[in-house]
Amino acid sequence: MRVLQFLVACTMSLLLVACSSTPERLASSEKGKDVVIFALGLVDTDYRFGGKNPEAGFDCSGMVAYIYGRAAGIKVGGSAADIARRGRPVGRDELRPGDLVFFNTRNASFSHVGIYIGDDRFVHAPSTRGQVRIDQLAANYYAQRFETARAYFE
């Protein structure tokens, strides 16, 4: 089943990158693409507070740390707020696949993080509905809570 999910994720990733309408999105880095493909392969993985791997489940920062470490060889860790303190600030209109997006979801700055995958969408591990999933940045809930974005590679 995981192999099928991975193949579907790879296909979706290629379609998202190919269908992007701006040159900036087409110029995304190789590491960013690797991060997106890896992240898409984890969609439907269970949520678990403090979780740091697919067997145990993920919380948002654990998912990001796992994916960045495995797909890009970049060590990020700590809470979403800790991760937000590092990286290069990126404007919402400059987002590229693999960049990190941060939200205020608990009346606390940078309390949630996800991975931008292109086409105004991101992968994240929210506690609601209990699984890693894809959502749109423009969705009312996330649009109202978006705080910033960070890039960790060119």
CA–CA separation, 81 vs 64, rounded Å? 12
Annotated catalytic residue, options 121, 124, 133, 150 = 124
Kindly report the number of other CB atoms within 10 A of residue 77's CB atom: 14
Q: What is the sign, positive or negative, of the torsion defined by CA atoms of 82, 86, 90, 95? A: negative
Q: What is the sign, positive or negative, of the torsion defined by CA atoms of 9, 12, 18, 23? A: negative
Annotated catalytic residue, options 25, 96, 112, 150 = 112
Annotated catalytic residue, options 36, 60, 83, 125 = 60
Q: Collapse the DSSP code of 23 into the 3-class scheme (helix H, G, I; strand E, B; otherwise coil) and give the result.
A: helix
Asked about 124 being catalytic, the answer comes back as yes
Strand partners, 136: 121
Kindly report the number of other CB atoms within 10 A of residue 99's CB atom: 27
Active site residues: 60, 112, 124
